[in-house]
Copies of this chain bind each other. A is one copy, B any other.
Amino acid sequence: MYRTKPFVIFIIGVSGVGKSTIGNLLSKKYSITYFDGDDFHSKENVNKMSKGQSLNDEDRYEWLLTLNQLAKEQIKIQNCVIACSALKEKYRDLLSKDIEINVKWVFLEGSFDQILNHLNCREDHYMPVSLLKSQFKILENPVNALKIDIGFTPEEIVETIKKEIFDKSEFGLIGLGVMGKGLSRNIASKVIALSVYNRHVEGLEEDVAVNFKNEFSELSNILPFDKIKAFVISLQTPRKIMLMVNAGKTVDAVIDNLIPHLSKNDTIIDGGNSHYKDTRRRIDYLKNKNINFIGAGISGGEAGALKGPSIMPSGNKGAYKLVKPFLESIAAKDKNNLPCCTYIGKEGSGHFIKMIHNGIEYVEMQLLAEVYFIFKTIGKNPDEIANILDGWKTKTNSYLLEITVDILRKKDKRGWILELILDKAGNKGTGNWATVATAELGVPSTMIASALFARYLSSFKEERIQLNEKFASFKTISKINVDNMIKVYQLARLVNHHQGFKILFEASRSYGWELNLSEIARIWTNGCIIRSSLMEELVNIFKLTDNMMLNKNIIDEIKELKPSINEMVSQCVIEEIPIPCLSEAVNFLNAYTKADSSANIIQAQRDYFGAHTYQQNNDPSGKYYHTNWKKITHD
């Protein structure tokens, strides 16, 4: 009958607003079982009430859970309607516990006088004015509800519920590119009533939504649109609309197209790779218009979108609550079956961590590329390399390792596909943004910058060919020992993950985001591109420390692995094999684990030419000194 999974409608509002009337009528008209919440009170509560005592929150706790249980049982078999005043947010939280996505709230609303009048017209019911006053006092207006004025007739109200809940979609998605299509199919597979919209561009993008719906049988219940107004109207209020459009100006344009059709408390979720500063700006912009904006980093590529990505939402926490059931429903699940989706923090923190996720990803990819290049240089073919990497999976598995093995093995009649590919790496900007952010924050993310610059350098292919002719290559028999390559790779990955989480830590401190590093590691254990066995270890490590380099296990591991990477990097340098990211891992560790650096000379130079002053080792006051360096005195 309906396009959604079984649901429970809670009819809520103050006493006397007409909840049972509406519940009963709805039940009769649409054959939905109706329950009056008041029938489920415990004996103790009934006794208390019969004595004229009012219930406190503790009394209500068990009762609300009983109703929650009732709803859970019902939706296993059918839809149902439950009447229950549910005046406070925390009551509603209990009623909808674990079944948020199945719950629809209908809030019957009227003014005090309207309801008093309403009550006085009813012969079977007596309510003292003081009680109604106390109900209004505790009432917390629900945000996530269909609100209906009791000035309408019961028939009209029931028709409104039918039109607004039964007929409309729960969730809207805009932008049917690779990711948008995957997510739409994912959403539909969760039996969430969905509307999708794609713009109409004459001759280029025509009937995209309709054609998409017709392409997959599982999409038979979605509502497709290419007119924005009709799309918005097709959504239940408050609306939840996810944007899967190109980051940048397009996001602003789509927002501006949406605004005239939206209502208070509607929520836009930006699931694209937007810049975190843009997300912060958009949150502020829409806040002024009473529209919520959630910036949600989404990782997982095409497959993740379809089967469950890792989702990193940020913005106003109250707004997040409105969309949480949907985002959690479509996210990947971790090994404890918890969704790889968690509220990250305020502002654009979700897009920030997605950006750093991509930075870590750049490095993971570059490390595999360098490992491959070393093996290739000493004469191994792709299948041999694949076999070696395949053997690493038991010790240090990751999605990127897995796909690299697949890639190395892929052949057609011309041979290995890999060897046909032009070695100019592209980038879509997040690695660049991550490098910029780390430079701005004052954090030494050397590996992300190095991986980014390796891609940039690869793109200067024509210059490389020119220079290759002018510089004779290194020619002797290689002395590289690849036996310990896995250790080299493991060590570099530890440094990469340290640097990545270190930026998160420093950003959190600078921006007051209160990021939970362990939770972030947890939602990165599945669905996303950088999921790995190491990430699973980090979930627990970051419960104990904010700096993984201070963890004893990590320290022991680094001590064991370090000699191998020293040897490898050293020999690659001698043999002129470019290994920028492996080198950075070593140099970072060598500097980071030493109390003394060479920065005293930098400070002296700055003081010499710019009078920038310097601090002294033996002066804990932090006082700044200036020396007139030019006069040379020997005492």
Contact = CB atoms under 8 A, between A and B. Distances in A.
Given A403-B629, A407-B608, A440-B432, A368 B601 contact: yes
Contacts of A446: 449-450, 453, 580
Of A409, A426, A599, chain B has the most CB atoms within 10 Å of the CB of A599
A201 interface: no
Interface in A569-596: 569-571, 573-574, 576-580, 583-584, 586-588, 590-596
Given A407-B604, A413-B635, A580-B591, 13 more contacts: A365-B601, A418-B601, A420-B618, A424-B603, A432-B439, A435-B435, A435-B439, A439-B439, A446-B450, A457-B588, A464-B596, A464-B597, A468-B594
A241 interface: no
A260 interface: no
A457 B407 CA distance: 37
Interface string A539-568: 000000001011000010011000000110
A433 to B, nearest CB: 8
B449 A601 contact: no
B467 A592 contact: yes
Interface stretch (A137-145, A223-231, A288-296, A369-377): A369-377
B422 A617 contact: yes
Nearest to A580: B587
Contacts of A424: 599, 603, 615
Interface in A362-388: 365-366, 368-370, 372-373, 376
B609 A457 contact: no
Nearest to A372: B601
Nearest to A431: B439
A566 B576 contact: yes
Contacts of A412: 633, 635
A609 B468 contact: no
Contact of A567 (B301, B569, B574, B608): B574
In the A-B complex, the 4 residue pairs with the closest CB atoms? A458-B599, A578-B591, A301-B609, A369-B598
11 contacts: A368-B601, A403-B609, A404-B601, A411-B633, A426-B612, A439-B449, A457-B588, A461-B597, A467-B592, A577-B590, A580-B588
A399 B630 CA distance: 13
A183 to B, nearest CB: 14
Given A411-B633, A439-B449, A602 B550 contact: no
A250 to B, nearest CB: 18
A110 interface: no
A473 B593 CA distance: 8
A592 B432 contact: no
Nearest to A452: B439
Contact of A444 (B302, B373, B454, B470): B454
Contacts of A428: 612
Chain A interface, >50% SS class: helix
A604 B416 CA distance: 12
A605 interface: yes
Interface string A446-479: 1001101111111111011111101111000000
A240 B471 CA distance: 51
A318 interface: no
A440 B436 contact: yes
Interface in A291-323: 301-304
A457 B592 contact: yes
A386 to B, nearest CB: 10
A593 B464 contact: yes
B609 A303 contact: yes
Interface in A465-497: 465-468, 470-473
Contacts of A369: 598-599, 601-602
A421 interface: yes
A600 to B, nearest CB: 4
Contacts of A411: 633-635
Contact of A417 (B417, B439, B549, B627): B627
A574 B618 CA distance: 32
Nearest to A424: B599
Given A423-B598, A609-B303, A573 B569 contact: yes
Of A369, A605, A632, chain B has the most CB atoms within 10 Å of the CB of A605
A290 B143 CA distance: 54
